[in-house]
A = this chain, B = another copy of it.
Amino acid sequence: MTKTNAGYFFEDYQVGQVFRHGPLRNVEEGERALYQALYPTRFAVAVSDPVAMALGLEGAPLDDMIVFHKVFGATVPDISLNAVANLGYADLRWLKRVPPGSALEAVTRVIGLKQNSNGKTGIVWVQTVGLDAQGDEVLTFVRWVMVRKRDVDAPAPETVVPDLPEAVPAADLHVPEGLDFTHWDKVGVRAPHRWGDYAVGEVIDHVDGVTLSEAEHMMATRLWQNTAKVHYDVTSRPDGRRLIYGGHIISMARALSFNGLEGAEFMAAINAGAHANPAFSGDTLRAWSEVLEKAETDVPGVGALRLRLVATKGGEAGALKGEDGKYLPDVLLDLDYWALMPI
């Protein structure tokens, strides 16, 4: 009898099933430094105690994406080890900022199932919650993945498709506790644009490019404890190439977006996300953003921008889909998220 985890197959999931993915694990200053070494991020709050404190926080929290990666990574052995594809995200909200030295864990509930018509795979919808050592929720999100069946003859489950919001309503965005942008102009962040300077429909070309390398994406993916074989093992794909973890592309694109969105210090929610095409070492990644919506929050001075963040390996800023409605071949990521910035 094998003692290794073969992962779950489609017929192993039931609606209502709950996974506690593993123990609490520390996230520390070392992760913060690695994050800066791996991604060209220059947002200030996540790396500066003086800036964070001048804005009403207790100290610099970890970058929002570190929290996402840690919670997401913890779910991989149970949710996506046998996934054919990570199909989408919805209703992702950051609920509490996480200081270095915290410990995090993740719990997931299966909320939907639908066998595909080919009978070989099915779609699993899950809701994951990240928790800290105090038991407080720090992050919540829904994702759905296509998972192989172990036995194609296993009966199809009753189809349950969850009702998901197209986007997180601005009223549901959580503003970090204590956040106050009153002293924003004095903290030294060179952010020439405020919330009021952005217009719906505006496209921002973030200009800079980063050529991806194997060692970097593997180190990142390992740091988040994402164990999916395709990221590490050249023998796991017919083409002998290591597929770059989609979250690595999100972090890279978000980091590049600093150039043009310097004041968008916090991510508050992810409304939707698609990894449009696979990314590989050697690709040169660029990013552009489109302003989709603007909203005020319930905290004075804190505005919300709903942004489309697109990562590409070529092509013009603003080019997303072809006439056939499909993503252009150079588009790697199409992410719809809410950022918070000073009004």
Chain A residues close to B by CB (< 8 Å): 2-6, 20-26, 28-34, 36-40, 42, 44, 47-51, 60, 77, 103, 105, 133, 187-190, 192-193, 197, 204-211, 213-216, 218-220, 222-223, 225, 227, 229, 232-236, 242, 259-261, 284
Contact = CB atoms under 8 A, between A and B. Distances in A.
A233 B211 contact: yes
Contacts of A222: 36-40
Contacts of A105: 188
24 contacts: A3-B192, A3-B204, A4-B205, A22-B44, A23-B187, A23-B188, A24-B50, A26-B47, A26-B48, A26-B60, A29-B29, A29-B33, A30-B33, A33-B34, A36-B223, A42-B225, A208-B229, A208-B232, A208-B233, A209-B232, A210-B232, A211-B214, A215-B215, A216-B219
B210 A233 contact: yes
Contacts of A50: 23-24, 103, 133
Given A211-B242, A213-B215, A223 B23 contact: no
A105 B22 CA distance: 34
B25 A44 contact: yes
A221 to B, nearest CB: 9
A208 B6 CA distance: 10
A5 B210 CA distance: 17
A251 B327 CA distance: 41
B40 A227 contact: yes
B38 A34 contact: no
B2 A284 contact: no
Given A233-B211, A234-B211, A23 B37 contact: no
A4 B227 contact: no
A238 to B, nearest CB: 15
A227 B133 CA distance: 37
Contacts of A4: 204-207, 259-260
A225 B36 contact: yes
A219 B220 CA distance: 11
Given A42-B22, A222-B37, A48 B187 contact: no
A77 B262 CA distance: 13
Nearest to A78: B190
A187 B193 CA distance: 47
B103 A49 contact: yes
Contact of A25 (B6, B29, B48, B213): B48
Contact of A205 (B2, B23, B42): B2
A140 B60 CA distance: 27
A81 to B, nearest CB: 10
A37 B242 contact: no
A51 B23 contact: yes
A3 B55 CA distance: 24
| Chain B CB within 10 Å, residue with most, of A77, A206, A284 | A284
Given A28-B33, A30-B31, A208-B232, 7 more contacts: A22-B44, A22-B188, A24-B48, A24-B50, A28-B30, A34-B34, A48-B103
